[in-house]
Structure 1
Amino acid sequence: MAGNSDPLTPRAKLAVTAGKAVAAASRAAGRGSGSVIGGRVALKLDPDLLARLAQNLDCILVSATNGKTTTTRLIAEALRAAGPVVSNALGANMPAGITSALAGGSEAKFGVIEVDEKYLAGVARDTDPKCIALLNLSRDQLDRAAETRMLAENWREGLAGSKAVIVANADDPLVVWAASSSPNVIWVAAGQMWKDDAWSCPSCGGVMQRPGDDWFCGECGFRRPTPSWALSGDHVLDPHGSAWPIHLQLPGRANKANAASSAAVAAVFGVPPQVALERMYQVQAVAGRYDVVQFEGRDLRLLLAKNPAGWLETFSLIDPPPTPVILSVNARSADGTDTSWLWDVDYTRLTGHPICVVGDRKLDLAVRLEVANQQFQVCDDLDQAVQLCPPGRIEVIANYTAFQDLRRRVGN
């Protein structure tokens, strides 16, 4: 627990100081927050630094394909009711970024840590977490991410016998299979809109049956566990059957699901659902996502969607036609360079919206929209796209680096 004797050795303190200096230099040079390069330098000087920084914290890890950053933020807000929190709130979710974040939280009681799916097992080993939230698994970054079942297997093996309380989504078969190796699981019915990565049983490969909201494998009997927490409309149902209203400033069903999982995590640490959910209302935007910014006389709402599941959820929350939509897709290393995932997205959901297309891979996206019989215009840049739209609201949907480019352009 926090307040114990200083866990940092002289070498660890040197590593922290050097990492902060490098991060500050990176920021001064205009190269971003510096958290990743600072963390890398610190870990080079002391490879055990992450474990040392975590040992006086109650650590909570959050991993998923979609919703990690937002859920991490919601959990952090909820747990501040019980003590000071340190968190990698800006989404630097690999060991270097996590180390950098924890190095700044010497007074904290809780460490709320977003973790990239591929690094979860290793970070769990280093941080000895009290709780791990597993939200979903779906296809992402096809050129370098493992196939989804392999990721689930990595989680299953890495978390086997873990002492942590696992808070897991009962509606995602891959997550259930991964979490089932752990002795202490709290199941949350958080829903699953995107099902295309979960039609075969992760346990035996059989065909998954999906009557209503239920699911089971007809061949081996692997089935949906009974949840103790559930998202029900605009409420979270707790294990006692009480319904607590969700009031969020963040839009969409996916964020209500994130709030339900966050409430279950907060309860592990004694924060009641009512208190947790009230605190979550404070969150207006997460690293620029959902922000509405004024630009060229229009109101641009900035929405991040990185993979098919994320695009599907995002389409469900945009304003109805004829609200214009600007789509921006890049394929830089942080996005994954393979854009074949565009063919997994149902762009017919945009029918009736005027569409403008920008970004490094605007022509890939244009071909996809053409096949989906959508009306669109290819634009040189955001400025040209905005000029083609009438005054008022514009929904802007972008993948990872395209989103960062947009934020820089609109001064967000």
Structure 2
Amino acid sequence: MAGNSDPLSPRAKLAVTAGKAVAAASRAAGRGSGSVIGGRVALKLDPDLLARLAQNLDCVLVSATNGKTTTTRLIAEALRAAGPVVSNALGANMPAGITSALAGGSESKFGVIEVDEKYLAGVARDTDPKCIALLNLSRDQLDRAAETRMLAENWREGLAGSKAVIVANADDPLVVWAASSSPNVIWVAAGQMWKDDAWSCPSCGGVMQRPGDDWFCGECGFRRPTPSWALSGDHVLDPHGSAWPIHLQLPGRANKANAASSAAVAAVFGVPPQVALERMYQVQAVAGRYDVVQFEGRDLRLLLAKNPAGWLETFSLIDPPPTPVILSVNARGADGTDTSWLWDVDYTRLTGHPICVVGDRKLDLAVRLEVANQQFQVCENLDQAVQLCPPGRIEVIANYTAFQDLRRRVGN
């Protein structure tokens, strides 16, 4: 934890130096940021390096299926009101990427760390965090991710002995079940738009009753806890009942929910809601997400959606018809190679929008849109799709590697 001023051991310093050198070489070769390969090399040389780098930091970990990267950015901005922050802001969220990020923040007071859901328990052991934010759990990467109930089980077991303050979404039964093993939980009513992974009780398997915004299991009595923080329209309600306005440049209800959770986290570190929420206004785009770029005489808004819950939230924030929509889906390693999740997405919400389809799996998506009775055109590439759209705003929605392809093409 913070306050321990032990310098890094010679071995740890060597590991950091070697990792940075490898990362620089990777960048020079045009192979991305180099943070992951640099972190892997550093951890090979000193397997305890992540724990050593974290020992001088007050850390907060952020994990979820959706919203991790954005919430990490919002929390980092809020905590800068209280001191220097180091963060894996570009989303390299497994141990190697996290180690690489922390190695660059030797003068920092706070570590704000996005963590892949599968690695949360291990990273929590290594970093001894002061706070852990748990936002949501839903189906994602069906070919390789554990079923959501198993992920919740891993969180529940891994966090049971943690001294960290857990800031958890009271509206997601899986998150509540995972967090309930912890002695110190702050509940936030952040909402849950996608409910299809939360109809059976994670505690006993019974059918979940969901009247209004409430939820409970009629069989074992597992129920929604009373939140002390809440998202209410365009305001965050704090534990004293005060309403603080949310000012964001990021669009949509999901980002207001992220801001509510971030304000609760900031308060754990002594940053008041008004200060935290004002600072969050600085965040305009997150690793290219929500950016509006000029391309071929049109204004393209770049939106990332990686799984059914993410697509549902994204559909809720796009401009109304007849704004054209370009959809791009790949199924490479980083996306998950199974595209059956497309059938879980309600594409009837795009009715009235002219739709163009691109990406490696454009034909999979075309079949899905055909069944959903949508009007669409299959295009060879982004350029062709953009040319089919009139001048003005175009909403571009893509999954992970498709989004990276789009950013490269538009020079973002």
Do they fold alike, i.e. is TM over 0.5?
yes
Q: After superposition, what is the alpha-carbon deviation per residue over 1:17-49, rounded to whole angstroms, capped at 9, x for unaligned? A: 000000000000000000000000000000000
Shift, 1:215, TM fit? 0.1
Q: C-alpha distance in 1, partners of 2:170/2:90?
A: 27
Q: What is the DSSP-based 3-state SS (H/G/I as helix, E as strand, rest coil) of the residue aligned with 2:196? A: coil
Q: C-alpha distance in 1, partners of 2:383/2:3?
A: 52
Shift, 1:194, TM fit? 0.1
Q: C-alpha distance in 2, partners of 1:258/1:42?
A: 32
Q: C-alpha distance in 2, partners of 1:125/1:269?
A: 20
How does the TM-score come out when normalised to structure 1? 0.99
Q: Percent identity?
A: 99
Match of 1:282 in 2: 282
RMSD across aligned positions (CA): 0.6
Q: What is the DSSP-based 3-state SS (H/G/I as helix, E as strand, rest coil) of the residue aligned with 2:8? A: coil
The answer to whether the Cα contact below 8 Å between 2:142 and 2:338 also exists between their aligned partners in 1 is yes
Which runs of structure 2 are paired with 1:322-337 in the superposition (5 Å)?
322-337=322-337
Shift, 1:232, TM fit? 0.2
Q: After superposition, what is the alpha-carbon deviation per residue over 1:30-83, rounded to whole angstroms, capped at 9, x for unaligned? A: 000000000000000000000000001001000000000000000000000000
Q: What is the DSSP-based 3-state SS (H/G/I as helix, E as strand, rest coil) of the residue aligned with 2:300? A: strand
Shift, 1:274, TM fit? 0.1
The answer to whether the Cα contact below 8 Å between 1:7 and 1:55 also exists between their aligned partners in 2 is no
The answer to whether the Cα contact below 8 Å between 1:2 and 1:108 also exists between their aligned partners in 2 is no
Q: C-alpha distance in 2, partners of 1:4/1:163?
A: 18
The answer to whether the Cα contact below 8 Å between 1:215 and 1:223 also exists between their aligned partners in 2 is yes
Q: C-alpha distance in 2, partners of 1:287/1:268?
A: 26
* Distance 1:266-1:298 versus aligned 2 partners, 3 A rule: same
Q: After superposition, what is the alpha-carbon deviation per residue over 1:256-290, rounded to whole angstroms, capped at 9, x for unaligned? A: 00000000000001100000000000000000000
Report whether the alignment pairs 1:216 with 2:216.
Answer: yes
The answer to whether the Cα contact below 8 Å between 1:168 and 1:185 also exists between their aligned partners in 2 is yes
Q: What is the DSSP-based 3-state SS (H/G/I as helix, E as strand, rest coil) of the residue aligned with 1:39? A: helix
Q: After superposition, what is the alpha-carbon deviation per residue over 1:350-405, rounded to whole angstroms, capped at 9, x for unaligned? A: 00000000000000000000000000000000000000000000000000000000
Q: After superposition, what is the alpha-carbon deviation per residue over 1:318-340, rounded to whole angstroms, capped at 9, x for unaligned? A: 00000000000000000000000
Q: What is the DSSP-based 3-state SS (H/G/I as helix, E as strand, rest coil) of the residue aligned with 2:90? A: coil
Q: C-alpha distance in 2, partners of 1:4/1:402?
A: 43
The answer to whether the Cα contact below 8 Å between 1:7 and 1:52 also exists between their aligned partners in 2 is no
Shift, 1:208, TM fit? 0.1
Q: C-alpha distance in 2, partners of 1:207/1:289?
A: 36
Shift, 1:126, TM fit? 0.4
Q: C-alpha distance in 2, partners of 1:139/1:176?
A: 17
Q: After superposition, what is the alpha-carbon deviation per residue over 1:127-159, rounded to whole angstroms, capped at 9, x for unaligned? A: 000000000000000000000000000000000
Shift, 1:2, TM fit? 4.8
Shift, 1:5, TM fit? 2.7
Q: C-alpha distance in 2, partners of 1:39/1:277?
A: 32
Shift, 1:4, TM fit? 4.2
The answer to whether the Cα contact below 8 Å between 2:4 and 2:55 also exists between their aligned partners in 1 is no
The answer to whether the Cα contact below 8 Å between 2:305 and 2:311 also exists between their aligned partners in 1 is yes
Instruction: State the 4+ residue runs in structure 1 displaced beyond 6 angstroms.
Output: none
Shift, 1:3, TM fit? 6.0
The answer to whether the Cα contact below 8 Å between 2:57 and 2:110 also exists between their aligned partners in 1 is yes
Which residues of structure 2 form unaligned runs of 5+? none
Shift, 1:197, TM fit? 0.1
Match of 1:143 in 2: 143
Which residues of structure 1 form unaligned runs of 5+? none
The answer to whether the Cα contact below 8 Å between 1:7 and 1:53 also exists between their aligned partners in 2 is no
Q: After superposition, what is the alpha-carbon deviation per residue over 1:202-261, rounded to whole angstroms, capped at 9, x for unaligned? A: 000000000000000000000000000000000000000000000100000000000000
The answer to whether the Cα contact below 8 Å between 1:312 and 1:345 also exists between their aligned partners in 2 is yes
Q: C-alpha distance in 1, partners of 2:86/2:304?
A: 24
Q: C-alpha distance in 2, partners of 1:382/1:6?
A: 52
Match of 1:346 in 2: 346
Q: C-alpha distance in 2, partners of 1:6/1:211?
A: 53
The answer to whether the Cα contact below 8 Å between 2:325 and 2:355 also exists between their aligned partners in 1 is yes
How does the TM-score come out when normalised to structure 2? 0.99
The answer to whether the Cα contact below 8 Å between 2:75 and 2:263 also exists between their aligned partners in 1 is yes
Shift, 1:161, TM fit? 2.3
Shift, 1:114, TM fit? 0.1
The answer to whether the Cα contact below 8 Å between 1:166 and 1:185 also exists between their aligned partners in 2 is yes
Q: What is the DSSP-based 3-state SS (H/G/I as helix, E as strand, rest coil) of the residue aligned with 1:365? A: helix
Q: C-alpha distance in 1, partners of 2:18/2:344?
A: 45
Q: C-alpha distance in 2, partners of 1:55/1:5?
A: 9
The answer to whether the Cα contact below 8 Å between 1:326 and 1:358 also exists between their aligned partners in 2 is yes
The answer to whether the Cα contact below 8 Å between 1:235 and 1:243 also exists between their aligned partners in 2 is yes
Q: C-alpha distance in 1, partners of 2:27/2:325?
A: 33
Shift, 1:164, TM fit? 0.1
Shift, 1:7, TM fit? 3.4
Q: C-alpha distance in 2, partners of 1:218/1:5?
A: 52
Shift, 1:6, TM fit? 3.7
Q: C-alpha distance in 2, partners of 1:4/1:127?
A: 13
The answer to whether the Cα contact below 8 Å between 1:36 and 1:92 also exists between their aligned partners in 2 is yes
